[in-house]
Structure 1
Amino acid sequence: MVVAIYKTELNTGRALLSNVTWDTLEKLDADLAETGARLTYLDGYLEIMTPLSDAHEEPKKTLGLLLEIYMLMRNIRFYTRGSTTIGMKELGARKEPDDSYSLGTRKSVPDLAIEVTVTSGGIDTLEIYRRVGVREVWFWEDGVISVYCLRSTGYELVSKSELLPELDLRLIEFYSRMADQYDALNAFMKLLM
């Protein structure tokens, strides 16, 4: 087994390895299970990220809570999947979304995946989601949400969610940037009433 370190970024806790087999991925996953490391895999490239910082976790949680409040207040049936690993060996792809949701019914592949981006570069996340068949992917970066919808040719950047077309993403962005999470959630909920 030959694994090459392709790139490391010590400041971010991220390493990108190449020539990694699926069997090696599974062994590393088991070995790192208790560390909180996140593993992303695509065609022999493995990205290992740890630890997840407050700069990542706080907006991720706030964004998820805002979305869940919206769906509850609008009686949209959803099932949160959190960061459940999706992908498989046959696809040559695997990812743990920051958050994910199935709308309407429980599904093995979520309809919506959310990624909070605090560092850039690394593995092509959209290619992983395309192979798996996730219908919509949101990227939150510096308080701005970019929405990608799956098409037959790949993902297309769109101006609003097709899964939740009535949702005003600019409001979600505004409340996700508020300094106090409780105040943000409370104000957003009052706005929806």
Structure 2
Amino acid sequence: MKIPLDIPQPDLEKLIAPSIAEPRIPLYGITWQQYENFIEMFSGHQNLHLTYLQGVLEIVTLSPEHEMLKTLIARLLYIYADALDIDLFSCGSATCKSQSTNRGLEPDESFCIGDRKSFPDLAIEVTVTSGGINKLEIYQGLQIPEVWFYQRDRFSLYRIKQDGSGYQEINQSQIFPNLDLNLMAQYIRPDREPEMVRTWRKFINTPFPPKN
């Protein structure tokens, strides 16, 4: 299959050998079929994420820092769920998309709770560089119940409104109502990952762990 790429050569070079943390290349006037073609073309390139919102496609090259952060967050969450016997199903960065709302993206991490569903119950986004498409607007079109953003050593949490019209910021996760994310954020230190994982596991498995 031949897919025309109307991307300037300098932008292509940014994607292949990025000189900045996470280069973003926006493409405009992209149809749904073209978006599907891009997904197929870039399948297997785990360091590239595609974000699509009503004709605008953004291609981002993920930095090593980004990948270390999102992986460590997932490890800590697995430990918490295992210790409290929470049925956590990993969905990873699988593409979530809806042609009816003309939206699609690949979460950094995502999970279903209780059982597997068509879309995850929780999506986690790690922000290393700001800017780009409003991902909450995409998640609203996919009706993802809860979205966490991690940036600069802290979490920001959003829960979809009951009428599905948008998100409201919340102070505490409704999926994990007793998980102290401010505390968990202190363990997100990629340079000390083994130590942080072991210490978090020991804390969660104390005689009186937080209950979900």
RMSD: 2.0
Contact 1:4 1:19 in 2 (8 A): no
Which residue is 1:17 aligned to? Answer: 27
Counting only pairs closer than 5 Å after superposition, residues 44-193 of structure 1 correspond to structure 2 as 44-50=55-61, 52-151=62-161, 152=163, 153-177=165-189, 179-193=191-205
The alpha-carbon deviation at position 170 of structure 1 amounts to 1.1
Tell me whether 18-27 or 92-101 shows the greater mean CA deviation.
Answer: 18-27
| In the alignment, structure 1 residue 40 sits paired with structure 2 residue 84 | no
- Cα 1:2–1:84 change in 2 (3 A) is closer
Gaps of 5+ in 2: 15-19, 206-212
- Cα 1:178–1:4 change in 2 (3 A) is closer
CA distance in 1, matches of 2:76, 2:142: 26
CA distance in 2, matches of 1:168, 1:192: 11
1:162 alignment partner, SS class: coil
CA distance in 2, matches of 1:70, 1:24: 40
Gaps of 5+ in 1: none
Q: TM-score, normalised by structure 2?
A: 0.84
Question: Which consecutive segments of 4 or more residues in structure 1 shift more than 6 A?
Answer: 1-5
CA distance in 1, matches of 2:5, 2:93: 29
Structure index of larger Rg? 2
Contact 2:150 2:156 in 1 (8 A): yes
Q: TM-score, normalised by structure 1?
A: 0.92
Count of residue correspondences: 190
CA distance in 1, matches of 2:142, 2:66: 24
